[in-house]
């Protein structure tokens, strides 16, 4: 089998650009992520391997140096696949009324985004609404943090105005709020930026929810807050 070794190859450039640009295409790395995507009904544009592979016999083989230039992990997992990024309209999220929508307002850390996506899947949220400034949930660090849960969660890029116009009640994680039970359905639960919290535009229209603590720490990490509030809402719903 002939292998591709040139970084000028069009497929090499396409994969590199998908990794870098976070545009209409995305790249998954490793056999588990790729097989999980296939099981979820995704169809790869192309699969590439580090040399020939018995596990992926139909893949396009890249020479080691070319493959390693694209791989994210220090020890290569030997396979990458490029996919069209799933697209969901915000109306898909707003239409589901048996659970809540998780909204992320400028959550910048990929690890936090990935962890919250995993929590959204674990506690059966209707989906995740991404406001401007959020890390890409399909970025490599976020995918690792979500343990692949992003492959089975509906996402939509939204504006604050779309949330306000949805007619759904808004709740915001806010240390200055009251420690009340979170919503269980037909609502939007907003988690804000790691430093500044939920934006003023949304905060003024949302019911603030706090988490009762001992007071020995100033605040909780946004992902930790999401774990507590989403689990409480899920337990109440069930």
pTM of the model: 0.90
**Topology of domain 90-237, per CATH?**
Alpha/beta knot (3.40.1280)
Q: What percentage of the chain reaches a pLDDT higher than 90?
A: 74
**Tokens describing residue 103:** 């909204």
Cα separation of 136 and 139, whole Å? 5
The DSSP bridge pattern shows strands 79-84 and 46-50 to be antiparallel
**Topology of domain 10-84, per CATH?**
60s Ribosomal Protein L30; Chain: A; (3.30.1330)
In which band, very low, low, confident or very high, does the pLDDT at 233 lie, cut at 50, 70 and 90?
A: confident
In which band, very low, low, confident or very high, does the pLDDT at 201 lie, cut at 50, 70 and 90?
A: very high
- Burial of 173 (C-beta count, 10 Å sphere; 0-12/13-18/19+): buried
Per-residue confidence (pLDDT) for residue 1, from 0 to 100: 58
Looking at the predicted structure, is the pLDDT value of residue 43 above 80?
A: yes
User: pLDDT for 115-160, tens place per residue?
Assistant: 999 999 999 999 999 999 999 999 989 998 998 899 989 999 999 9
In which band, very low, low, confident or very high, does the pLDDT at 222 lie, cut at 50, 70 and 90?
A: very high
Cα separation of 61 and 12, whole Å? 11
How far does Cα 210 stand from its chain's mean position? 24
Domain ranges of the chain: 10-84, 90-237
Per-residue confidence (pLDDT) for residue 78, from 0 to 100: 94
């Amino acid at each position: 089998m002939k292998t591709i070794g040139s970084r000028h190859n069009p497929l090499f450039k396409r994969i590199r650009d998908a990794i870098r640009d976070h545009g209409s295409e995305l790249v998954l790395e490793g056999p588990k992520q790729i097989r999980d995507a296939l099981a979820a009904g995704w169809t790869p544009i192309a699969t590439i391997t580090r040399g020939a592979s018995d596990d992926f016999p139909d893949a396009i083989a890249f020479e080691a140096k070319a493959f390693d230039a694209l791989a994210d992990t220090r020890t290569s997992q030997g396979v990458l696949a490029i996919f069209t990024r799933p697209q969901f309209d915000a109306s898909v999220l707003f239409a589901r009324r048996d659970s809540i929508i998780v909204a992320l307002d400028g959550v910048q850390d990929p690890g936090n985004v990935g962890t919250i996506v995993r929590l959204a899947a674990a506690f059966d949220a209707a989906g995740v609404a991404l406001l401007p400034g959020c890390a890409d949930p399909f970025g490599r660090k976020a995918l690792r943090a979500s343990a692949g849960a992003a492959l089975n969660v509906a996402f939509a890029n939204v504006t604050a105005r779309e949330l306000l116009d949805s007619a759904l009640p808004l709740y915001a994680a806010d240390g200055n709020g009251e420690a009340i039970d979170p919503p269980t359905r037909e609502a939007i639960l907003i988690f804000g930026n790691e430093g500044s919290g939920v934006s003023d535009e949304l905060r003024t229209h949302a019911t603030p929810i706090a988490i009762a603590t001992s007071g020995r720490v100033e605040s909780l990490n946004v992902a930790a807050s999401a774990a507590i509030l989403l689990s409480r809402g899920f337990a109440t719903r069930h």
